[in-house]
Amino acid sequence: MGCVLLTGIAGFIGSHLGESLVREGLSIRGVDAFTDTYAPRQKRENIATLSRSVMVELVTGDLARDDLRGLLDGVDAVVHLAGEPGVPASWGRAFPTYVERNVIATQRLLEAATAAGVNRFVYASSSSVYGPDDRPLVESMVPRPLSPYGASKLAAEVLVGAYAQQRGLSTVSLRYFSVFGPRQRPDMAPYRFIEALLDRRPLPVYGDGRQARDFTFVADVVAATSAALTASVPTGSVLNVARGEPVEVRDLIAILAEELDVEPRIEHRPPRAGEIPRTEGCAEAARNLLRWEPVTDLRAGLRRQVEWQLRRRLDAETLLPGAAVDALSYAAVPAPHAGAPGQPAAVEVVRVGGDEPLRGLR
């Protein structure tokens, strides 16, 4: 395969996928808008390694607004991960951002990919398209999203299907289930719980803590996505990417507390609108069509994430002039925060505006 266009390359999943594709010997063009949904500094950290690779061309730009001419030149396949994540934040006035970054951006990219005649378009969909079913979720179920976020992801998934059926684009939509691991977004539950445990703060739990998520380790999600680039699948396929072993939030907390040897203090808060009570994905179709198998169990993956969060704290601390760091008392190290002296930006972020075609930075 020639060049892969990877959108959302600086994000949690995108940066891992980029590194994996480079390891496979592929050249990639990565595009990201470095949105401020969470600290752009974290995104620059995510791509520190990628930005040094000769196999990677980085482009800063907004898929919903910028002229996409040229972005797909020489591209064989697209993986579209760019989007606005997060269920609770999607209610109310934020919704136009979800429409813009999840729906408009996808439609514009689909047009560009169809015009360029790419061989495969892989779209990152979500388990949030499902309704409140108390059974293993299978792709044939009628989607009934409970949140504006889920609705926007489903709208984009439907568009991907339309381009497959009517415009001859070879597409695969992957419904990711609660991805976790190093570089996880700071709004996600495991990240928040680890930070709270390290700070000896109470852990905010929405509802009774019995809601269950089918947490899937990021390297397994990357492997499924990578396989979807070349697998022989019916066009327009929609596949769950899940471990199929849901865990209740209170059990997740118990594992993290054990790993960190900290007694958790749970602070119950009212349930948040839009959250699915239980997600359990059936990934039989992905197993068969992608020849994919998730290999990382929950505890092993959480340990990797804990190590990453500890290392970030340590790095932030060592970069502060005169800071005394006791490597053995990680829990006492304060969290890195925006504006603290940090690592220099790995790439310079330049906003490409208006009608300007997207430009590479290097």
Q: Catalytic residue positions?
A: 149
* Beta carbon of residue 362, minimum distance to ligand NAD (angstroms, whole number): 18
HSE at residue 293, side-chain half, CA atoms within 13 A, is 1
Query: Which CB, 217 or 330, lies closer to ligand NAD?
Result: 217
* Beta carbon of residue 255, minimum distance to ligand NAD (angstroms, whole number): 18
* Beta carbon of residue 200, minimum distance to ligand NAD (angstroms, whole number): 27
* Beta carbon of residue 23, minimum distance to ligand NAD (angstroms, whole number): 19
Give phi and psi for 125, each to the nearest 5.
Answer: -95, -165
Taking CB atoms, the residue at the shortest distance from ligand NAD is 11
Confirm if 63 and 108 have CB atoms less than 8 A apart.
Answer: yes
HSE at residue 359, side-chain half, CA atoms within 13 A, is 11
* Beta carbon of residue 52, minimum distance to ligand NAD (angstroms, whole number): 18
Kindly list the residues in this chain that would bind ligand NAD in the complex (CB under 6 A).
Answer: 7-8, 10-14, 31-35, 37, 43, 62-64, 81-85, 101, 105, 124, 126, 153, 176, 178-179, 185
* Beta carbon of residue 240, minimum distance to ligand NAD (angstroms, whole number): 11
Query: Which CB, 156 or 333, lies closer to ligand NAD?
Result: 156
Question: First vs last Cα of the chain: how many Å apart?
Answer: 23
Residues in CB range of 143: below 8 A, 6 or more apart: 129, 130, 131, 150, 154
Token pair of 322 as six digits: 């005169």
Q: In terms of Cα–Cα distance, which of 82, 93, 302, 94 is closest to 189?
A: 302
Largest CA-CA distance found in the chain, in angstroms, rounded: 62
Query: Which CB, 45 or 317, lies closer to ligand NAD?
Result: 45
Query: Which CB, 59 or 164, lies closer to ligand NAD?
Result: 59
Query: Which CB, 33 or 137, lies closer to ligand NAD?
Result: 33
Query: Which CB, 163 or 176, lies closer to ligand NAD?
Result: 176
Token pair of 262 as six digits: 């900290």
